[in-house]
Structures are given as C-alpha cells and as structure tokens.
Chain A
Amino acid sequence: MAASSSRARVAAALPLAALLATCGGGPAKPSPVGLSIEPRDTHGVLRWIAANKGTPVLVNFWATWCGPCVAEMPDLLAGTREFRGRGGIVVGIAMEQMGADIGVDEAVARVRERARRLGIDFPVLVCTDDDMTVVRRIVGVELGGLPQTLTYGRDGLLVAQHEGMASSEEFSAMARAAER
C-alpha cells in the first residue's frame, strides 16, 4: 500500500459520523450492486454512504478525463471482486464537473458511456460539486489528487485513504481493512 494510505482508523470523518448518528440504526438497505449512475451533490454522496451503515464501503473518486483514474479501473474491479461478493460495497464518485464547462446531463452521459466501456459494475455517483475545496470540507478528508480511494468500516468511520493509482492488491487490502 502506498505511503500515503493508512490502515489506522482515521478520526477525520466527523461529517460522516455526524450524519450516521442522525440516520439512526434502522435495518441496513440491501447492498447496491450493478452499474447505476446518478448525480448527487457532496452532501448527497455522504448520505448515500451513510445509508449503507453496517456494511464496509470503498469509495473511489475518479473522472472520465483523468488518465490514471481510468487506468486503475481494471485493478479496482479485480481487487474488490471478492469484497463485493462478501457484501462489501464499492461506489465510484465521478468528479466530472471540475474545470469542465459541462452540465449535469452531459456529465452523466460521459460517465455512463465510459463506465460501460470500462465494465464498471458498481454504482457511480456523479458529484455535482465541481470545487474540490468544497468536497474536502464536506467529506472531512484532505483529498489531494485524483484518483483517490477511501474505505469506511461497518461503523461508518474512515479506515483508509489512498492517494493516486492503486494496484489490485492494494484495493484488495483496503477492502479487507474495511471489513475488520
């Protein structure tokens, strides 16, 4: 795993923790599987993660214009296949809006087309906040470059952060850490 990642529980995910507290401990929703694409603002992204409390979640920030993000996608798919088979959730957060003068519909269309070509078979949320500073503040994590991967444990707390491309083995290790 890259030096920039951490297996230790990171206490920085306070916004999500607070959100989880307000979501209550109701029955967990069935794990979302298969490709689905929908636009969400950053608060909506957090609500989506919080709605899956009780299940380990791996969150991959990417974009169709981001070469390293696209390049690592086969490794993300391979490295998390078993994790998803055990009920773990993988969700992609597409940051299409950043710097590009495109609307939500166009962003969703680009993501859908690229996701199909890449064989993505997990949900993708198209983040409608196009300013990473805003996303950082709301998510409560110092996100650096794309791609970026976060994993959340069953309790909804951040377990690991990986900046830059990851290998299949690294994705697998991050997913396992979220299951502990």
Chain B
Amino acid sequence: MNVASKLALLSLLVFPVPAQEPAPEPAKPAPEQPKVLQLGDRVKGELALLDIDGVPQKAGSLMGKITVVNFYSIQCPIQAGWDQRLAQIQKDFEGDGVVFLHIDSNVSEIGAEPPPPEQDIDAYAKVRSHLKEKQLPFRVLVDHGNKVADLFDAKTTPHVYVFGNDGRLVYKGLVDDDPKDRNADSRSNYLRDVLGKLTKGEKVEPFTTKEQGCSIKRVSAGRKPGGRRRGGDQGGKDGGE
C-alpha cells in the first residue's frame, strides 16, 4: 500500500464517509394563506357578481372614487335596524359621487349557486320584493359561494367597508354604535363621519370598529369548490393587493 493509499484509508477511518442519503426532497411550499383584504389594501380584479336581476356585474368597475360596500341580509333584524339610516347616508352622499354597494352572501337567501340560465327562475325575487317593500334604494349584488365575503373577511350583516379616493380600504366595521336608533344625539356615526371627511378631501387614518349583527350564512366547506371554508377561492384574478 503506497502512501496515497494509506492516507486514503486513514481519511476513511478519521472521516467516515456517511452512508449514501437520498437527496433531500424539495421543500413543499407552505399552503397558500387565504388572501384577505386588509386596511390600506385595494381590491384587485373585477369581483364578478350578479345583480338581483341576474345580470353579471363587475363590482370592481362599479366602485367609484369613494365606495361603501356593505354586507347585507334581507332576513337579519339587526341589519333591518340600520336599513333606514344606511338609506339616508346613501341619499346624503350619493350627490358627492360616493358609490354604495350591498352584497348578499347568505346562502340561505340567495342559494349556493346561481340558477341554471336555461331555467327561468327568479332566484332573487325575495331580495327585490324586500327592497321594494321597505323602499330601500340599495344596489344589491349576490355573492354565491361567499367568495367576496371571504375576501373581505366579512363576518356579519351589516358589515361596512369604505374605500377612499385611491381605492384603498380606510374603514371597516359598524354603521354607527346605535343599532336601535335610540341615541341620535350621542352616538358615534362612524360611516357618516368617514364619508364626510373623504368627500371634503380630508385624510382618514384607516381604522376598524367591531362589527355587530347576524353571522353571514356561508356555504359549507364541503359544498364549496376547493373545499375551503374561508378565503382562497376568489376566482382567479380577483383579490386584494
């Protein structure tokens, strides 16, 4: 055995070669977290929804410089307590160019999926008759599969979101802190105050208040494409940024 061979043998003794290990598997990417709109975010994409006449609408295109999005229910008595004040706020600020959208995501009110187009079913007749009966001037879009509710992380009806001139979310929460309309002189008019500032060009520091109302009746996880109960199913390009 020559010197080189001895050194090679010695190196094996001193530095044993580890057994051949399988190449490490490439790390699996962590499951993507559901994208949820945060304060300061813009809504990205078009948020394709149907209106209550069954006509496809692109909510993103409907959103004006200042936009209020409210998650709505025709059955929730807590929402009903705020209906007339929401209508009045809409009346007061529409002239300033503020856009108001109401989104019904409750599977119990609109069904899990739109009716097949070949069937002549007026799926949203109850919503339409409710608005007519209560004389509410609300533009209601239907959110089958609660995709938009998931994106917005909306929990209740009502649950109000306000987007500023730049399209960024500046407020999320209550209409005001007086659900029974008993303290008109002393209540905090969150939505009205935010819109007042925005329409005057004043800066609004993004903030939230704790929502209050009826839980949105979502489609169960098993019935939803992708099987996730919350988020992650925003339908392609729609989402927050």
Contacts and interface: CB of A to CB of B under 8 A. Distances in A.
Interface of A: 4, 65-68, 98-100, 130-133, 136, 142-147, 163-165
Interface in B140-175: 155-156
Contact of B155 (A98, A133, A145): A145
Contact of A67 (B78, B178, B217): B217
Contacts of A68: 214-215, 217
B77 A99 contact: yes
Contacts of B212: 132-133, 136, 143-145
Given A67-B75, A98-B81, 17 more contacts: A65-B77, A68-B214, A68-B217, A99-B78, A99-B81, A99-B179, A100-B77, A133-B179, A144-B155, A144-B211, A144-B213, A145-B155, A145-B211, A145-B212, A145-B213, A145-B214, A145-B215
A99 B80 contact: yes
B140 to A, nearest CB: 19
Interface residues on B, range: 20 to 34
B105 to A, nearest CB: 13
Interface string B76-95: 11101100000000000000
A136 B210 CA distance: 11
B38 to A, nearest CB: 14
Contact of B214 (A133, A143, A146): A146
Nearest to A135: B212
Contacts of A146: 214-215
B179 A132 contact: yes
A36 to B, nearest CB: 25
A98 B77 contact: yes
Given A133-B178, A144-B155, A144-B210, A164 B215 contact: yes
A163 B155 CA distance: 9
B214 A130 contact: no
17 contacts: A67-B75, A68-B217, A98-B77, A98-B179, A99-B180, A100-B77, A131-B179, A131-B182, A144-B155, A144-B212, A144-B213, A145-B156, A145-B212, A145-B216, A146-B214, A163-B155, A163-B215
B179 A144 contact: no
A174 to B, nearest CB: 17
B78 A98 contact: yes
Contacts of B180: 99, 130-131
B108 interface: yes
B217 A144 contact: no
B200 to A, nearest CB: 28
Contacts of B215: 66, 68, 145-147, 163-165
Which of B156, B180, B211, B216 counts the most A-chain CB atoms under 10 A from its CB?
B180
Contacts of A99: 76-78, 80-81, 179-180
B77 A144 contact: no
A145 B179 CA distance: 13
Interface string B202-241: 0000000011111111000000000000000000000000
Contacts of A132: 78, 179, 212
B177 interface: yes
